[in-house]
């Protein structure tokens, strides 16, 4: 919250982030990976250290987009893999929390762009085999081994797509289509694998990318762009105008909410932005603060207590 309030009073200290790519870089992600395996017994801890390194290398050494990113432009993201059970000697199930951030113009503040918990993670891991993935052959000979790289590639495409959406209208569309291709070709012929099908739950990988590509929710992409470019990126020099743009975005999201209040993209947006939004409006004029509070409590009841406390 201290960092969020710094955004409100000055958007931290000026840092001059390089928005135009300089020297081209093949990779788009700067991923930090953490594997938690406290519940797993009977496995050499070195296996999980190797898994952590393998996943980090997989994410950071691949090119996920045709767009060139300079080294300083790589997207900061975190992958927390919490292993909860060992199904067999080399098959694990658990949860994956994925978070990515986006820098704010002329500031050192990093805005959380994506924060998603995936509870349907199951995979086979052999520390002596490299992690392999191909867009043209997502499901390999071993579905459980392929499932790990399919999940990682899916979220890599989502992260880069959202990042590009925040800098250009509909900038992430090509990446979301790649993520949807992973969904359509994902491993399924194993009892342990889930999260890729519509009937497997209302908030899973299938529905996230379905929402992102559904023409019914096209306004969401415009909101994502305006929130960051017309809102956050303006606040260092023009706090009031930036805050007005965020209010306008909330109004647009209210229309989307009226159409379908249970969309995954709405839930995901507020999971990422609740702290930030509370900070943005904590210093707003009383009338605007009340209008924002009413919208936020309606659109994001899960964080209603936070909004009421911070905007009182």
Q: What is the pLDDT of residues 249-262, one digit of tens each?
A: 999 999 999 999 99
Residues 263, 198 within the same domain: no
- Which stretches of the chain score pLDDT less than 50? 1-6, 8-25
Is residue 132 included in any domain, yes or no?
yes
Residues 177, 275 within the same domain: no
Q: What pLDDT is recorded for position 190?
A: 81
Give the Cα-Cα-Cα angle 140, 115, 222 (nearest 5 degrees). 100
Q: What pLDDT is recorded for position 240?
A: 94
3-state secondary structure the chain: CHHHHHHHHCCCCCCCCCCCCCCCCCCCEEEEEEEECCCCCCCCHHHHHHHHHHHHHHHHCCCCCCCCCCHHHCEEEEEEEEEEEEEECCEEEEEEEEEEEEECCCCCCEEEEEEEEEEEEEEECCCCCCCCCCCCCCCCCCHHHHHHHHHHHHHHHHHHHHHHHCCCCCCCHHHHHHHHHHHHCCCCCCCCCCCCCHHHCCCCHHHHHHHHHCHHHHHHHHHHHHHHHHHHHHCCCCHHHHHHHHHHHHHHHHHHHHHCCCCHHHHHHHHHHHHHHHHHHHCCCHHHHHHHHHHHHHHCHHHHHHHHHHCC
Specify which residues 29 forms β-bridges with: 75
Residues 263, 163 within the same domain: no
Residues 94, 132 within the same domain: yes
Residues 198, 229 within the same domain: no
Domain that holds residue 95: 23-213
Is residue 16 included in any domain, yes or no?
no
Residues 304, 238 within the same domain: yes
Domain termination residue (choose one: 213, 233, 254): 213
Q: What pLDDT is recorded for position 22?
A: 35
Residues 209, 223 within the same domain: no
Is residue 164 included in any domain, yes or no?
yes
Domain termination residue (choose one: 213, 239, 268): 213
Indicate the pTM of the whole model: 0.92
Is residue 262 included in any domain, yes or no?
yes
Is residue 13 included in any domain, yes or no?
no
Residues 40, 182 within the same domain: yes
Domain termination residue (choose one: 154, 186, 213): 213
Residues 50, 161 within the same domain: yes
Is residue 2 included in any domain, yes or no?
no
Q: What is the pLDDT of residues 67-81, one digit of tens each?
A: 989 998 999 999 999
Residues 198, 243 within the same domain: no
Residues, the chain:
312
Q: How many domains does the chain have?
A: 2
Is residue 110 included in any domain, yes or no?
yes
Is residue 18 included in any domain, yes or no?
no
Residues 305, 171 within the same domain: no
Q: What pLDDT is recorded for position 19?
A: 32
Residues 196, 230 within the same domain: no
């Amino acid at each position: 919250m201290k960092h969020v309030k710094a955004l409100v009073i000055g958007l931290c200290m000026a840092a001059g982030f390089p928005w135009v790519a300089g020297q081209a870089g093949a990779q788009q992600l700067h991923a930090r990976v953490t594997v938690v395996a406290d519940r797993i017994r009977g496995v050499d801890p070195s296996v999980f250290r190797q898994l952590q390194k393998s996943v980090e290398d997989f994410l950071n050494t691949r090119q996920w987009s045709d767009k060139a990113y300079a080294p300083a432009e790589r997207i900061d993201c975190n992958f927390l893999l919490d292993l909860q059970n060992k199904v067999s000697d080399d098959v694990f199930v658990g949860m994956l929390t994925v978070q990515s951030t986006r820098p704010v113009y002329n500031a050192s503040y990093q805005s959380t762009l994506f924060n998603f918990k995936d509870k349907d993670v199951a995979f086979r891991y052999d520390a002596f085999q490299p992690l392999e993935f191909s867009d043209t052959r997502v499901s390999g000979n071993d579905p459980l081994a392929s499932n790990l790289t399919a999940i990682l590639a899916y979220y890599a495409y989502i992260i880069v797509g959202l990042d590009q959406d925040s800098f250009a209208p509909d900038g992430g569309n090509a990446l979301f289509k790649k993520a949807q291709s992973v969904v359509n070709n994902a491993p399924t012929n194993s009892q342990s694998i889930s999260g890729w099908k519509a009937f497997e739950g209302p908030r899973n990988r299938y529905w996230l990318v379905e929402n992102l590509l559904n023409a019914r929710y096209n306004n969401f992409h415009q909101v994502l762009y305006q929130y960051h470019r017309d809102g956050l990126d303006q606040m260092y020099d023009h706090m009031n105008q930036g805050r007005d743009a965020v209010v306008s975005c909330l109004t647009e999201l209210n229309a989307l909410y009226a159409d379908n209040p249970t969309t995954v993209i709405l839930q995901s947006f507020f999971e990422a932005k609740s702290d930030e939004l509370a900070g943005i409006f904590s210093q707003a004029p009383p009338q605007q603060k009340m209008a924002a509070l009413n919208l936020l409590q309606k659109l994001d009841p899960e964080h209603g207590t936070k909004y009421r406390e911070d905007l009182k």
